[in-house]
Structure 1
Amino acid sequence: MGSTVGKRIAQGVAVTLALAVAAGGLIAYSYRGDIQDHFLATSFEPSDRIEQLRDEIQLNASGDRVFLASQPTIGGRADFNRWCAGVDHTEEGHVLGCFAERRIRLFEVTDERLTGVVETTAAHELLHATWVRLSQDERAELSRQLIAEYEKTAAADAAFKQRMSVYETLSSSAFANELHSVFGTEVRDVSPALEEHYARWFTDRSAIVSWYEGYHGVFTELKAEAERLSIELENLRADVEARSADYDAAVQQFNADAAEFKQRNERYEFSGNKALFDSIRGELLERQAELDAIRQGIQADTDRFNELRAELVELNDVSLELNDVLDSTLTEPTTPVEEA
């Protein structure tokens, strides 16, 4: 009797243990991605620059785990092009980061005028890393929300629609993936559902948007100033040309009238009529002074035109320089310059 009861108790314990092991296995399977990320993150040793980025992009525990599990690295053109060799560089814009082979790769930009570009790119690539970790159902639902948000935003913001046109050849799922990263890093106001989703990874997403607005504003201001100068230049050019044409006609008429006055005087037409001579001569001198003032005004505006044109050229040079800074495909010199 005792042995039978004992056997039944043992069987009961065995069944309980089996259920516990099965439940534990199910939990482990469900969280296998998080577990894998945990081990990858804890075994990764980030560089000082990556540590700095971790602080700057305002990650919570989940975002930090995915970021480190993606083993982020940052480097110059040679390293970056080797890391991201498989990334399509044919689209418009600059490739400043990639998520390849489940790793985040970043192009280092040190120009202080473009502070924020690396931070924004790091957050952008992190969101690509989180996208692949979502279930198929999660991605389907999130894609629906993102497309709806895109249609609303694009209808109200032509610049945003143009910005996203570089992805127009992508499949719908790949386009949603890009929207996921763009909305999360570049758009301040998104739907409450999307804001809640991004809170899974960031403690303060608005900080990321501020990084983006900071460096993007540099290009926006350059473009706006260039457009303002171009309009002013065109208006000034048209005005100077019109006034110059009127001035040339007035000078020709003045020269003709002055020549006629001289001929009349040489024919002694004003003999005995000094008052008429003085009147015509005074009128000609007054016209001459007026013409000289007009000439000086035209010359001043011509000088102003040349100054504005120089400013526009300088702005264009700055824009080209900044674009070169962001161009990760430029070849770096490999042969040192010999000293004399």
Structure 2
Amino acid sequence: MAEGAAAVVKRWVGFSVFLAVVGLIVAGMMLRQEISDHVAGINYEMTPRVNELAEDLELTDAGRRIFIATHPTIDGSQHFNDQCAGVDHSEQGHVLGCYTSDRIHLFDVTDDRVNGIVEITAAHELLHAAFRRLGEGDQSLLASRLRGAYKELVPSHPDLKERMSVYEHLSESAFANELHSVLGTEVRDLPTWLEDHYAQWFTNRPALIDDFESYHTVFNDLQSQAVALQAEMTSLRADVERRKSAYGDAVDAFNADATAYATRIERDDYRDDPDGQQRDADALQQRRVSLDAELDALQADIDRYNALRDDLEALGEVSAELDEHLDSDLAPITTRPNER
């Protein structure tokens, strides 16, 4: 009897050990990515610039672990182009970051007018890394929910559809991957479930949106000002051309009438009508004054047009300068030394 009880106990102990081993295996499989990220992070030495960026992103522990595991680089030279050479560059504008081979590479934009652009690019690429770490089933489910949220958001966010149009050629999964990064870094009002989803990696997503809207406003304002100037110039030019033509006709008519008036004087046609001569002289003088005033007005509008053209050229220079700072193809060839 005692031996039977001992055998039962032995079997239970063996079964418990088996369950414990299975539990460890399952837990290990579930935590495999976290463990892998932790190990990858151990082998990475952050520069002060990258560490500052990680702090600015206000990441959760999970977000920071993924970010560090991707060994992020920030480079202001053309070496960045080499790092992102294999990435699909179909997106409009300049490529400021990429996530490739589980590595995040960022172009170092230092123009104060677009503060926050590196942070938003880093957050965008981090969300790509987070998406990749989801299981296939979770990715598929999330992709479906993201598409649904996208359809609901487009009517109140018309710019979002244009923003995502550059990704329409991608597969459903790849499109969802891009949408996952865009919504998380560029759209303020999201469904609660999606806010909770992004809260896995960011403790202060509204601050990210503030950064995005801040630098995005710079480009929007430049574009709005340029469009307004071009519209005003087009309208003013048409008005000036019309008035110049009318002015030319009025001058021709005045010259003809002035010549006729001089001829009548030569023929002494006003000998018996001095009052008529005075009236015609006064009328010609009033027309001359009116023509001189119209000429002054035309010149003022021409000067105004030229000033608007100068303003538009100045805006173009500012836009070109910003564009140059965002263009990694124009960056120095040599890599900037890492900050230690």
Provide TM-score, normalisation by structure 2. Answer: 0.92
Give the letter aligned to residue 305 of structure 1.
Y
- In the alignment, the residues of structure 2 paired with residue 215 and residue 80 of structure 1 have an alpha-carbon distance, to the nearest angstrom, of 22
Q: Which residue of 1 aligns with 2:315?
A: 315
Q: Distance in 1 between matches of 2:170 and 2:121?
A: 20
Considering Cα pairs closer than 8 Å and 6+ residues apart, tell me whether 1 or 2 has the greater RCO. 2
Q: Separation in 1 of the partners of 2:190 and 2:182?
A: 11
Aligned residue in 2 for 1:196: 196
Question: Does the CA contact (< 8 Å) of 2:146 and 2:179 recur in 1?
Answer: yes
Once residues 73 and 25 of structure 1 are traced to their aligned partners in structure 2, the CA distance between those partners, rounded to angstroms, is 34
> By how many angstroms is 1:227 displaced?
0.8
Q: Within 5 A, what are the aligned runs for 1:231-310? A: 231-310=231-310
Q: Which whole-Å deviations, capped at 9, do the CAs of 1:155-177 have from their partners, x for residues lacking one? A: 44443212211112111100000
Task: Work out whether residues 109 and 118 of structure 1, in 8 Å CA contact, stay in contact via their aligned partners in 2.
Answer: yes
CA contact (8 A) 1:145 1:194 kept: no
**Partner-residue secondary structure (3-state), 1:167:** coil
Q: Deviations for 1:192-225, whole angstroms, at most 9, x for unmatched residues?
A: 2211111111111111111111111111111111
Decide whether the 8 Å contact of 2:77 with 2:333 is kept in 1.
no
CA offsets 1:219-267 (integer angstroms, 9 cap, x no match): 1111111111111111111111111111111111111111111111111
Of residues 49-58 and 6-15 in structure 1, the stretch that sits farther from structure 2 once superposed is 6-15
Q: Map 1:99-178; keep pairs closer than 5 Å.
A: 99-178=99-178
Aligned residue identity for 1:289: V
Write out per-residue CA displacement over residues 52-75 of structure 1, whole angstroms, 9 at most, x where no aligned residue: 111211211111111111111110
- 1:142–1:4 Cα change, 3 Å: closer
Distance 1:221 1:331 in 2: 25
The whole-number CA distance in structure 1 between the counterparts of 2:265 and 2:197 is 94
Q: Alignment identity in percent?
A: 44
Are 1:117 and 1:215, in contact at CA under 8 Å, matched by a contact in 2? yes
Partner of 1:330: 330
Give the residue type in structure 2 aligned to 1:200.
Q
Q: CA RMSD in A?
A: 2.1
- Answer whether contact 2:79 2:333 (CA < 8 A) is retained: no
User: Using the alignment, how far apart are the partners of 1:90 and 1:24 within structure 2?
Assistant: 45
Matches within 5 A, 1:51-66: 51-66=51-66
**Letter aligned with residue 70 of structure 1:** T
Could you tell me how far apart the structure 1 residues matched to 2:285 and 2:293 are?
12
Q: Name the CA distance, whole Å, in 1 between partners of 2:264 and 2:48.
A: 92
The residue that corresponds to 1:85 in the other structure is 85
Q: Deviations over 1:114-135 (max 9, x none)?
A: 1111010000000000001111
How far apart, CA to CA, are the structure 2 residues paired with 1:20 and 1:210?
48
Question: Displacement of 1:12 after TM fit?
Answer: 5.0
Asked if the contact 2:78/2:333 (under 8 Å) is kept, the reply is no
Opposite residue 117 of structure 1, the aligned amino acid is I
Paired positions, count: 334
Q: CA deviation at 1:8?
A: 6.8
Distance in 2 (alpha carbons) for counterparts of 1:73 and 1:208: 20
